[in-house]
Structure formats: structure tokens, C-alpha cells
Amino acid sequence: MKSKLKLSNLYLTLVFVIIYLPIAYLIFYSFNTGDTMDRFTGFSMKHYATLLSDTRMISIVLNTVVIALLSALLATVIGTLGALWINQLKQRTMKNAVLSVNNVLMVSPDVIIGASFLILFSFLGFKLGFTSVLLSHIAFSIPIVVLMVLPKINEMPKTMLDAAYDLGATKWQTLSRVILPSITPGIFAGYFMAFTYSLDDFAVTFFVTGNGFSTLSIEIYSRARQGVDLEVNALSTLMFLVSLLLVVGYYLLEKYGHTRKINRNKMMKGPNAQ
């Protein structure tokens, strides 16, 4: 029994090592004094210095983050409303049809989505750049949000909505006071998923971005084609740290969601006690 456990631990460790080894390798060489990853010649922060003085790179990072935040936000709003709409569809076949259309977007290759957006935008005579990237990111994020929110809606007992209505709530009050608070975890999860999908999207962005606008993945790709620059390593290291912080932040936020509820109750207690 004990040796079996050890074996499974060993396996897990091995898997993680294999997954993280390339990243560790990349981070390690970001501190190299030399300009290649052939040989580690000594510790230095010079690649980080180059990165911080590279205004083009910094503006691209900002672009990427703005696109991710904004597209995730809009996709969350649209996706949540969409999930609510799908949920209240009475006809079973209609519901399944809409869900299938939603899921097809999830499984279809990014390249095809990107190419089709490019065709659409060129057909409409739309100028490629920030807006086209933003719109396409919103579009491919919506199905993700729908898939994250829908289970939460289904989990909600139907009698809860009846109860709200019974206690005098209008449709709108039921939505804002009962439905939305109940599905908040799903909405948050949807937002974070949409955010990460947007952040690391390459294929779709590659098609719909135009002259003068670029995101991180596109920039790193084009730089890597000209031979690996250790500035990219430095950037990747920072990005990795940021992702790590985001994950930690997400967990803290989830925990905070619970404690906030308790705090709010304490606050309720305050004025009551007076």
C-alpha cells in the first residue's frame, strides 16, 4: 500500500518536472550574461534592463492586457445573458441546437475561426487593428463563459425563483437579487477563463491584427523567427510570474468571497446592535 503510494507520487513528480522543465530552462537563461542559450556564462539582469527600456514591447504588453481585460468583461456580460436565455428556452430541441452552435465554436480550430473573421472583416471593409482583435476575442470567449455559467444556472433550484416571485419580486428583481448572486462563482470563473484565453491567443489574433497593432504572442512569434533573443526569456519569466500571481489571486478571491459574506453579516450586525 505504502510503496504503491510512493510510486504514484513519483509518477506525479515526473509529470510535473517534464511540464515545468522547459519553463525552468527558459527562466534560468533569462539571467544569462551571454546572448544565447548555448552556455550559461554568469548571472546578470541585463536582459531585464533591455526589456524595460524597450517601449515598443511594453506598449504591446499593455495592449495585450487591455484586450484581455476588455474582451473578457464584454464576453462575460454577453455570455451570462446568453446562458440565462438558453436556460429559459422551453423547447428542448431549440435548447440543444443553441448549445450545439455554442459548443461548435469551442471545438473548431482557432485557425478556422481566425480565417473566417479575416474574411468577414475584409468583406465588411473593416480596418484591422485594435477593434477587430477585440471583437474577435469577445466572440471566441462568449462560448467559454456560457459553458462556465450554464451549470451554475442549472444548479439553482427552480423553487428558489418561484419563492422570489411569491415574495413579491418582479422578474428584474429576481434576476438582480437572486439569480445573479447565486451564479456569481460561475460568472467569475467564466471571466477568468475568457481572460486567459484572450491573453494567450495566437492563431485568431494572427489573422485579424493589422499594421501597427500587435499582441504579445504575435510579437514573441515574430521575434523568435529572427533567432531567439534573451529579452523574450526575460519577458516570459515576468509573464510566468504574473500568471502565478493571477492564479494565487483567483484562489484568494474565491476565499475572500466566503469571508466577505461573513464580514457583510458582521456589518449587518453593527447597525442592528445600535
Partner 1 sequence: MANPIIEFKNISKKYDDNPVLKKIDFEIESGKFYTLLGPSGSGKTTILRMIAGFEDPTSGEIEFEGHRIDLTPANQRPINTIFQDYALFPHLNVSQNIAFGLELKKMNKADIKAKVAESLRMVQLSGYENREITALSGGQKQRIAIARAIANEPKVLLLDEPLSALDHKLRKEMQVELRALQQRLGITFIFVTHDQEEALALSDQIFVMNDGRILQSGTPVDIYDEPINHFVADFIGESNIIPGTMTADYLVHFDHKDFECVDAGMRADEPVEIVIRPEDLDITDLDHGKLQVTVDSQLFRGVDYQITGHDSDNHEWTINSIHQTTVGANVGLIFDPEDIHIMRFGEDEETFDARLDSYEE
17 contributes a contact to partner 1 by CB under 8 A:
no
Give CA–CA dist 23/237, Å, rounded: 8
22 contributes a contact to partner 1 by CB under 8 A:
no
Least distance between partner 1 and beta carbon 192 (Å): 20
Query: Which C-beta is closer to partner 1: that of 127 or that of 177?
Result: 177
Least distance between partner 1 and beta carbon 78 (Å): 23
270 contributes a contact to partner 1 by CB under 8 A:
no
Q: Near partner 1 by CB under 8 A, which window of 48-56, 105-113, 143-151, 180-188? A: 180-188
List Cβ neighbours of 80 (8 Å cut-off, separation of 6 or more). Answer: 145, 149, 183, 187, 190
15 contributes a contact to partner 1 by CB under 8 A:
no
Give CA–CA dist 69/198, Å, rounded: 8
211 contributes a contact to partner 1 by CB under 8 A:
no
Q: Give me the helix-helix angle, 230-273 and 55-87, nearest 10°.
A: 50
Pick from 225, 180, 206, 216: which is nearest to 81 by CA?
180
Query: Which C-beta is closer to partner 1: that of 19 or that of 273?
Result: 273
Burial of 183 (0-12, 13-18, 19+ CB in 10 A): buried
Query: Which C-beta is closer to partner 1: that of 122 or that of 173?
Result: 173
User: Taking the CB of residue 106, how many other CB atoms lie within 10 A of it?
Assistant: 11
What does R_g of the chain's alpha carbons equal in angstroms?
Answer: 24
Query: Which C-beta is closer to partner 1: that of 23 or that of 160?
Result: 160
**What is the DSSP secondary structure assignment for residue 126, as one 8-state letter?**
P
94 contributes a contact to partner 1 by CB under 8 A:
no
Give the x/- contact pattern for partner 1 in 138-177, rule: CB under 8 A: -------------------x-xx-xxxxxxxxx--x---x
Query: Which C-beta is closer to partner 1: that of 97 or that of 163?
Result: 163
Q: For the chain, how long is the longest CA-to-CA vector?
A: 74
Burial of 241 (0-12, 13-18, 19+ CB in 10 A): exposed
From the centroid of its chain, how far is CA 120?
Answer: 25
Query: Which C-beta is closer to partner 1: that of 21 or that of 253?
Result: 253
Query: Which C-beta is closer to partner 1: that of 255 or that of 261?
Result: 261
88 contributes a contact to partner 1 by CB under 8 A:
no
Interface residue list for partner 1 (CB under 8 A): 157, 159-160, 162-170, 173, 177-178, 181-182, 184, 261-262, 265-266, 268-269, 271-272
